[in-house]
Amino acid sequence: MSNDVCEEMFVEIFSRLPSKSLLRFRSLSKWSYACIGGPDFIRLHALRTQNKLLMLVHNTPPKNGRHQKKSNVYTLHSEDRLPYNRSIYKTRVHYPFNDCEIVGSCNGILCVYERRNGDISLWNPSIRRKLTIRDHVHRYHHRHHRQKFGFGYDPITDDYKILKLSKPTPFLYTMKTHTWRKIASPPIYPYYRVDSYQCLFDGALYFAVTVDSDRCYDSYIMRFDLSSEAFTILESPQPSVSWQTGVVTVIDGCLAVISGKDEVAWIWVRSKEEDQECTSSSSSWYVAFVLKASDYGGGNTRRVFQLTAIDGLLLDRGFNSNIVIIDPETHVKSRLVGLSYSSYIDGVSMFTESLGLLGMGTSC
């Protein structure tokens, strides 16, 4: 058997192994070290990783007058169904941050914004690597202006990018250049407020925004294309509806928005044809599901993730609440994690195992 055939077999086997195992196998030989650390193998491994993981960061009840921050990774399996009765596989991981916000995740890499010092870090919990991106040039925005961040991958340039929505000027960071630069403002500048966390979908970042024009408040969806680096504005399902929450997510492979009013939440989905054509008409949305407050406990919802493995929606409800999983069709619900009323959910994100950031940053 030729060396080429052997190497192909090793790549086929290695690409299906967990990240931690691959870190050990790198020391087998010079070839395995170079192969596993190469960009082509890292991309292949990310494509073949199936299990979705849930990162949950929460503050526990105080001990000796101080809250303790804990982070767990939960593994969701395809055989799991609601109601969620069995014991879920949970792994405690070291969370190398304090006062922070999980911006989003992409290809197994989490983007974390540290409120205290204004730094942004890219973190891969699977291989415990952290890359800190300091923002000293534009640090003044941290103290005096509201800002939001977005994080995603540009497949055209094979580059990770971080969007900083600050006023009066937005900025964009690219990993290949290791620099921030100014970009053109959204077409609704300066009369807009970002109401949601990011939603990464089909090569673009989406945010729910409120536009204040002549004291009239209208809701829109703001889209930032990671390749063209341009903003566009999409009409929301019902601009006249007074939204209690602004959540943008992905459901069944389509862009979706969750809006609420009078103890009822509507889950609007945008047709795939409209997404491909990037049209902005409000008629492109349709109501996929309707949830009553009694279904999910009411209150504001910060983030929503579709759990395709168990046919449910995961709702992050923040303060003094639990992570709720609900089947939007049957309204059967379960609590993935039961937290005390003195706990606070500091961050939630779905991600997959990957080798992203291998050989970069520092070990954590």
pLDDT in tens, 9-29: 999 999 999 999 999 999 999
Determine contact, residues 282/236, Cβ cutoff 8 Å: yes
The pair of structure tokens assigned to 118 is 């204004």
Nearest by Cα to 97 from 86, 81, 113, 77 = 113
Q: Pick the closest to residue 151 from 140, 160, 143 (CA basis).
A: 160
**Distance of alpha carbon 194 from alpha carbon 225, whole angstroms:** 17
Contact between 302 and 247 (Cβ < 8 Å): yes
Q: Between these two residues, 109 and 216, which has the higher pLDDT value?
A: 109
pLDDT of res. 115: 83
User: Could you tell me the pLDDT band of residue 346, with boundaries at 50, 70 and 90?
Assistant: confident
Has residue 238 got a pLDDT over 90? no
What are the beta bridge partners of residue 233? 222
pLDDT (0 to 100) of residue 69: 65
Separation of alpha carbons 115 and 336, rounded Å: 28
Residue 195 falls in which region: left (phi positive, over 0), alpha (psi -120 to 50) or beta: alpha
**What is 330-358 written as a DSSP string?**
T--EEEEE---TT-EEEEEEEEE---TTT
Which of 173-182, 192-201, 234-243, 323-332 has the lowest average pLDDT?
234-243
Residue 294 phi, psi (nearest 5): -65, -20
**Mean per-residue pLDDT for 110-116?**
90
Q: Which residue has the higher pLDDT, 318 or 153?
A: 153
Distance of alpha carbon 120 from alpha carbon 127, whole angstroms = 19
pLDDT digits 0-9 by tens, 206-219: 999 888 766 667 78
> What is the number of other CB atoms lying within 10 angstroms of the CB of residue 118?
17
Q: Quick one: pLDDT at residue 68?
A: 63
Q: What is the pLDDT of residues 267-304, one digit of tens each?
A: 899 987 655 555 556 668 999 988 887 777 666 677 88
Q: Sign of the C-alpha dihedral, residues 176, 177, 178, 181?
A: negative
Whole-number percent of the chain with pLDDT over 90: 38
Q: Identify the residue whose tokens are 């939960």.
A: 74
Q: What's residue 273's pLDDT?
A: 67
Residue 347 pLDDT level (bands cut at 50, 70, 90)? confident
Q: Which residues pair with 68 in a beta bridge?
A: 60
Token pair of 237 as six digits: 């399902």
Query: What distance, in Å, lies between the first and last C-alpha atoms of the chain?
Result: 41
pLDDT confidence of residue 142: 46
Between the alpha carbon of residue 66 and those of residues 43, 59, 63, 168, the distances in Å are 42, 10, 5, 38
How many residues are listed for the chain in this entry? 364
Structure token pair of residue 350: 């779905």
Q: Label residues 333-344 b or e (16+ Cβ within 10 Å = b).
A: bbebbebeeebb
At 78, the pLDDT band (50, 70, 90 cuts) reads: very low
Q: Can you give the pTM of this predicted structure?
A: 0.87
Indicate whether 84 pLDDT > 70. no
CA–CA–CA angle 292, 297, 299 (5° rounding)? 90
Report whether pLDDT(259) > 60. yes
The C-alpha atoms of residue 36 and residue 31 are separated, in whole angstroms, by 9
CB 61 within 8 A of CB 342: yes
Confidence of residue 89 (pLDDT cuts 50, 70, 90): low
Mean pLDDT of the chain: 81
Residue pointed to by tokens 């973190």: 123
Higher pLDDT, 229 or 298: 229
Phi (first) and psi of residue 72, to 5 degrees = -130, 150
Summarised one tens digit per residue, pLDDT across range 152-204 is 999 999 999 999 998 888 999 999 999 999 999 998 876 678 888 999 999 99
The answer to whether 210 and 242 are in contact (CB under 8 A) is: no
Q: Quick check: 351 and 110 in contact, CB under 8 A?
A: yes
Q: Which pLDDT tens digit goes with each residue over 35-69?
A: 999 999 999 999 998 777 878 777 666 666 565 66
Domain extents for the chain? 1-49, 188-301
Give me the mean pLDDT over the 349-353 stretch: 89
Q: Which of 330, 325, 307 is nearest to 315 (CA)?
A: 325
pLDDT in tens, 116-146: 888 899 999 999 999 999 765 555 444 445 6
* Kind and range of the H or E run holding 47: helix 39-48
Predicted local distance difference test score (pLDDT) of residue 205: 98
DSSP per-residue codes, 11-42: HHHHTTS-HHHHHHHGGG-HHHHHHHTSHHHH
Strands lying side by side in the sheet with 323-326? 303-307, 312-316, 323-326, 333-337
